[in-house]
Amino acid sequence: MNGPILDLVGIWTVILGLGVFFYVLLDGFDLGVGMLYGLHRETAARGIIMNSIAPIWDGNETWLILGGLALLAAFPLAFAIIIPALYFPVLLMLLALIFRGVAFEFRFKDKEHRGFWDHAFCYGSAVATFAQGTVLGAFIQGFQVEGRHFVGSSFDWITPFSTMTGVALMAGYCLLGAGWLVLKTHGELQDWARRQGRRALLLVLVAIGAVSLWTPYAEADIAARWFSWPNVALLAPVPLAALALAFAAWRSFGLKHDAMPFVYSIGLFLTAYLGIAISLWPNIVPHRYSLWEAASSESTQAFLLVGTLFLLPIILLYTGWSYWVFRGKVKADAGYH
């Protein structure tokens, strides 16, 4: 037999899956922090909120580039169909990320228009999150494809479902952001973050419930995936774990735990992420192309894998180190340069 020794597509599925999940977690909490920034009225607290992510947001956003490029390199057919189909949400996300990214520097330097850059930061975070949520919704619903190309209209992505997932992701990122702030702040600001975390958690639960009912109702194959025997028993741990984690997160936001709200919120995201993956498996262009059909050539995947397996652990190591340098509660004197 002449087949590959390793299942490259399987490995790349894991890498891409991890990369996207890392992005969702890391930029998720810092976009969430950006939205919470807009909800807090006090200037002093806002400074601390922003400083809690100032040294790390740039690294967090890098996972978005990696996700996009890994999709291009490992599953180019999916990239070539999905990205043009999401022309406007991707545009909105990019423009919003520009605004909030420059706000970190500009807000400190532009005293005359600080209010403007404050808005740029929180609305930029909100719009970028909403756009990512609609990307998720449109992705789950699938695209109009002919051959190797998206042939629908650039406005197909606007649906009630994608609007709902957009709002849902805003709540989700706020939950992660609140967890982060509980970890990184203390005193009144921390108490405030705990309250925001609980509010966001309630919204997230409503949203997860809505998606969990809506998708199997709308898509027969997703219903079959979850509710046919024996899947219903095998997959039951996922929703049950989600419920348990949601309960634990709720409790820990109320108790004096500093780290656990963030940890449980991450756990909740993981179960939601797994849920979506289970619904869509094994497709990467939902309802159309499987991971194997969309994969790049074996030589392409192998060439990139060699370096990736070497580089990813190093990246995680020094990224971890940069987080370690800025560990502990935020101090304003660690601020700009």
Partner 1 sequence: MSLDPVILSRVQFVWVVAWHILLPAFTVGIASYITLLEGLHVWTGKPIYLRVSKFWIRIFAVSFGMGVVSGIVMPFQFGTNWSRFADATANVVGPLFAYEGLTAFFLEAAFLGVLLFGRKLVPSWAHFVAAFMVGFGTLLSSFWIIAVNSWMQTPGGYTIGPDGRFFPADWTAIVFSASFPYRLAHTVSGFYVTTAFVVLAVGAYTIRAGKFVAEGKLMLRMALGFLTIFVPLQIGLGDAQGLNTLEHQPAKLAAMEGLWDGGSGVPASIIGIPNQAGEKNDFEIALPKLGSLYLTHSWDGAVKGLKDFPPDQRPPVIVVYFAFRIMVGVGLLMLAIVAVGWLLRWRGKFYDAVWYLKGLQWTMPLGFIAVLAGWTTTEVGRQPWTVYGLLRTSDSVSPSLTGANVVLSLLLYMAIYLLVYPTGIRFMLRIVWNGPLDADPENDTKVESGRPAEPVQALPHGDAS
Please list every residue from 238 through 267 that binds partner 1, using CB under 8 A: none
**Among the listed residues 17, 87, 214, 257, the single contact to partner 1 using CB under 8 A:** 87
Q: Find the helix or strand (DSSP H, E) in which 299 lies.
A: helix 298-325
Whole-number Cα distances in Å, 324 to 9, 316, 317, 320: 34, 12, 10, 6
Residues 167 and 101 sit within 8 Å (Cβ to Cβ): no
**Among the listed residues 22, 37, 79, 264, the single contact to partner 1 using CB under 8 A:** 79
Work out whether 193 is an interface residue with partner 1 (CB under 8 A): no
**Cis preceding linkage at 239, omega within 30:** no
Work out whether 158 is an interface residue with partner 1 (CB under 8 A): no
What residues between 284 and 303 interact with partner 1 by CB under 8 A? 296-297, 299-300, 303
Work out whether 190 is an interface residue with partner 1 (CB under 8 A): no
DSSP state of 42: -
Work out whether 9 is an interface residue with partner 1 (CB under 8 A): no
Work out whether 159 is an interface residue with partner 1 (CB under 8 A): no
Distance in Å, CB of 52 to partner 1, minimum: 11
Give the contact letters, 120-149, x = binds to partner 1 (CB under 8 A), - = no.
----------------------------xx
Work out whether 95 is an interface residue with partner 1 (CB under 8 A): yes
Q: What is the dihedral of CA 232, 237, 243, 248, to 10 degrees?
A: 180
- How many residues appear in the chain? 337
Q: Which is nearer to partner 1, 112 or 230 (CB)?
A: 112
Radius of gyration of the chain, Cα coordinates, nearest whole angstrom: 20
Rounded Cα–Cα distance for residues 7 and 302 (Å): 10
Q: Which is nearer to partner 1, 115 or 254 (CB)?
A: 115
